[in-house]
């Protein structure tokens, strides 16, 4: 069994998966802000994080919007602010749904999509809300958008099939549902078989009832696969962890933390080149992710590239001068 590597995951980032399967991250950008001298920018960002963690979501929005106005469009701060604005709107949508304020919930979902248009799960959540409001065809259009972003989004495939079936498009519905089962075999349940038998007999009402029950099966959330991957990694099943993290990323590829974990699992399997690629992808999403910088350096060192490793450790120290792991690894090269 390959030796697990010491995790450099939470040096600067704390990942949290919320119940609605969206990921929220606490990115510490103080060192970066100090280097650039943008203290007000850093102050607003920190206020936004504090308000966000306290559940003061309107105040958080105000702070993150201020960051967005002050930061240059392509800066890491701007990208992180956009991410959190989308996350905050998503949480506001949840709160409004719980209170039965469906119009406000829809507004916040659309605002979240405006900030994160390539997030398939947001389109999925909006589709569910639109369908509950009675506009099945618009809901189907949102699901199709989600599937354009991620063609293997099993939950969206299944729901699109159920809605098509409900709209009388039985054969199209069956095709979408069968594709969902192909992508996510855990949908292959007695409910699915019962529904197929009823469909073949022409009992579309009973088939629809069973397909609706099948759609309640929660097997493919990002949080599900991410948490499974972490448990497998910690238990020493690194190959299983790789598979789980890849499943999570198939639902939404733009999570730096999941890519960092995938890189660690690949490195533990001895696949250093693939691991390095994942750390690089994590850094494309969040260039100031110190944990991914350190892990990229470790991967380079394992591949016999000490100069590249040193470069990554130095980049980590530019962001976090007090990072002991980066300093220690750099001194040992």
- Alpha-carbon separation of residue 15 from 27, 54, 183 (angstroms): 9, 16, 27
For residues 325 and 298, give the distance between their C-alpha atoms in angstroms, rounded to a whole number.
11
- Convert the pLDDT of each residue in 161-189 to its tens digit: 999 999 999 999 999 999 999 988 778 88
What is the phi/psi pair of residue 102, to 5°?
A: -70, -35
- Segment 69-121, tens digit of pLDDT: 888 887 777 888 888 898 899 889 888 887 888 889 999 999 989 887 888 88
Tokens of 322: 């007090």
Name 2's bridge partners: none
- On whether the CB atoms of residues 301 and 333 are closer than 8 A, the answer is yes
Whether 11 shows a pLDDT value over 50: the answer reads no
**pLDDT, tens digit (0-9, with 9 covering 90-100), for 17-76:** 333 333 333 334 444 444 444 567 778 888 888 898 888 999 999 999 998 888 888 777
Contacts for 44 with CB less than 8 Å, ≥ 6 apart: 63, 64, 66, 67, 70
- Across residues 223-231, what is the average pLDDT? 84
For residue 12, the model assigns a pLDDT of 29
| Rounded distance between C-alpha atoms, residue 297 and residue 311, angstroms | 8
We find that the CATH architecture of domain 248-331 is: Alpha Horseshoe (1.25)
**Third-level CATH fold of 22-116:** 1.25.40
Question: What is the pLDDT at residue 37?
Answer: 43
Cβ pair 319, 288 in contact under 8 A = yes
Q: What is the DSSP letter of 19?
A: T
Token duo for residue 30: 């103080």
pTM of the model as a whole: 0.56
> What share of the chain in percent tops pLDDT 90?
48
**Tokens of residue 169, six digits:** 């498009």
Strand partners, 26: 14
Domain boundaries, the chain: 22-116, 248-331
- What is the Cα–Cα distance from 268 to 131, expressed in whole angstroms? 44
pLDDT for residue 301: 96
Is the pLDDT at 1 greater than 60, yes or no? no
- Residues facing 101 on adjacent strands: none
Summary mean pLDDT of the chain: 84
Among 73-82, 235-244, 302-311, name the one with the lowest average pLDDT. 73-82
Q: Do domains 22-116 and 248-331 have the same CATH topology?
A: yes
**Confidence (pLDDT) at 52:** 85
- Nearest Cα residue to 179 out of 208, 150, 210: 150
For residue 201, the Cα-to-chain-centroid distance in whole angstroms is 41
User: How far is residue 86's CA from residue 119's CA, in Å, rounded to a whole number?
Assistant: 10
Look at residue 235 in the predicted model and tell me its pLDDT.
Answer: 85
């Amino acid at each position: 069994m390959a030796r697990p590597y010491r995790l450099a995951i939470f040096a600067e980032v704390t990942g949290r998966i919320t119940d609605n399967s969206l990921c929220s991250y606490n990115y510490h950008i103080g060192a970066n802000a100090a280097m650039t001298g943008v203290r007000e920018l850093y102050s607003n960002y920190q206020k936004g994080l504090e308000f966000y963690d306290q559940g003061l979501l309107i105040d958080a929005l105000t702070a993150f919007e201020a960051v967005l106005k002050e930061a240059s469009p392509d800066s890491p701060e701007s990208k992180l602010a956009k991410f959190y604005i989308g996350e905050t709107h998503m949480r506001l949508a949840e709160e409004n749904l719980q209170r039965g304020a469906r119009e406000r919930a829809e507004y916040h979902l659309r605002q979240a999509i405006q900030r994160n248009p390539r997030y398939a799960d947001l389109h999925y959540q909006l589709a569910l809300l639109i369908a509950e409001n009675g506009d099945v065809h618009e809901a189907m259009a949102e699901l199709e958008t989600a599937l354009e972003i991620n063609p293997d989004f099993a939950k969206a495939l299944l729901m699109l099939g159920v809605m098509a079936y409900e709209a009388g498009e039985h054969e199209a519905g069956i095709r979408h549902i069968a594709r969902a089962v192909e992508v996510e075999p855990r949908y292959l349940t007695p409910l699915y078989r019962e529904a197929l038998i009823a469909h073949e007999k022409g009992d579309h009402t009973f088939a629809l009832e069973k397909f609706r029950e099948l759609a309640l099966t929660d097997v493919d959330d990002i949080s599900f696969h991410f948490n499974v991957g972490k448990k497998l990694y910690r238990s020493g099943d690194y190959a299983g962890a790789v598979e789980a993290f890849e499943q999570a990323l198939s639902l939404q590829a733009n999570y730096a933390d999941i890519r960092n974990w995938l890189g660690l699992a690949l490195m533990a399997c001895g696949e250093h080149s693939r691991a390095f690629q994942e750390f690089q992808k994590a850094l494309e999403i969040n260039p100031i992710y110190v944990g991914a910088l350190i892990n990229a350096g470790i991967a380079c060192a394992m591949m016999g590239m000490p100069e590249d490793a040193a470069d990554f450790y130095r980049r980590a120290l530019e962001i976090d001068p007090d990072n002991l792991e980066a300093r220690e690894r750099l001194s040992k090269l």
